[in-house]
Structure 1
Amino acid sequence: MPSREEQTRSEERTWKVGPLAEASGLTVRTLHHWDEIGLLRPSRRTSCGHRAYTEQDVVRLYQVLALRRLGLGLETIATCLDAGVDPRRLVREHLAATEASLAALHTLRERLARLQDELDAERTPGTAELLRLVQAVGATGAAAGEALRRHLDEDQLHALADHAAALGPGAHYLLEVEWPQLYRRAEALRTAGTDPADPRVRRIAARLDELSRLFSGGDTTLSAAVRTAWREDPGALSGDPAAPADAWAALRAFLDRARQVSR
């Protein structure tokens, strides 16, 4: 007699690749590709060996599509999902950030409307009103964070904000999820005694450099300034202020050796 677990598994609804592709608006080829790269693998197979997606697979499919709509690449999506991040937390954080942006935009809209009324009436806006407008414009920009403010000048902070805005909502996940996860993976490899020439370490170093270029827009001066900020204030920028400085120094040296091998 089958166990309750086996009975539950047999009663669980599954989808073959064709119906799931049709329901999700994807192609069979796309689902096959995601299976091959390990992004979305069907948990079960039929007796004939066909792919069979379970309800949990469909949940992961939804997460993949949601993150892809934010402009993330497949590798980044895999990192986000495999990192074990609570999706509810990400949604809450993203929602909070979106609501804050909407509130700032609403304030900016009201002040622009008042300014337009003043100009339409051929009245010169007062200094106080212009300062309030400047404040509202500043509130709608992407905050670089107090840690970066200690190391970058205003022009560099504005440049970072502009590049982040150009990346769209996906910038949140690149910065808040993938970037810290890459450092955690690199540190785990370092403490395990992995050779910096190991392809896994080299891939992490290459991806970190790619993210740096995305957020700096390829500006080498800006990139160097951010690297200096990381070197001098790694705890604050990583969100892990308890991490010892010597561990960060060792990790930087470890990644630098991996970069030298890749050249």
Structure 2
Amino acid sequence: MERLYKVGQLAEAAGLTVRTLHHYDRVGLVCPSARTHSGHRLYGEADVRRLYQVLALRQLGLPLEAIAEVLNGEVPLEPLLTRHRDHVDEQVAAMRVLRAQLSTVLASLRTTNHADITDFLALIQKVTTVDETVRKYFSQAQLAELAERREQQGEDSATRVQQQWQELIPRVQAAVEAGADPTTPEAQELAREWMSLLERFHGGDSGLRDSLYRMQADNAARIQAEYGGPSPEQLEFIRRANAARR
């Protein structure tokens, strides 16, 4: 004879609460196939198998409504799992970014041995302001890759790169103002330094490079005003000098 489980027995065996099984019954997700004379729920083998399917899909993060549609054959499982996988990928990437940011804060704390509330308020403002712009152009996976690379290289490396940009941009501006020929060896050397610094950012990844170029093109005036360049004239000079290198 088929074994039947009372609601309390099934709840204990499955590690659930009776309330959860009652809810599954009310929404039509896992309904008992039989009842006692007094109306108490009795679950059979088919009910237990369906409960397993529900819990397995729930473990994947699918909502109850989607689970019901999948099990009833109304919606194929593959696209749902694909969307959920993509969502998980985004969450993983966001956590990678957060971890890298926390590592940066920890490194700063260990260097200064001190941090007060104004330090954290400044950090919050800096991170949120940058993120609002950057998120428009870079995917979560790209942001995670950039954050992890910065963490691996360390703050000293990031500081050196920033200093190199601060030194290179005025040299390029001087060449532009002097009307230098972009095809000369001196101009090509400036282009080589420029492209080398850019590669430190995108690491040869064409997706990162293209996202960077789009962000720069759309925010050129702000970048020049707030961060000191580059100007359209400088970019054109470097473009022509770099073309002459090839």
- TM superposition score normalised by structure 2: 0.44
- TM superposition score normalised by structure 1: 0.41
Larger Rg: 2
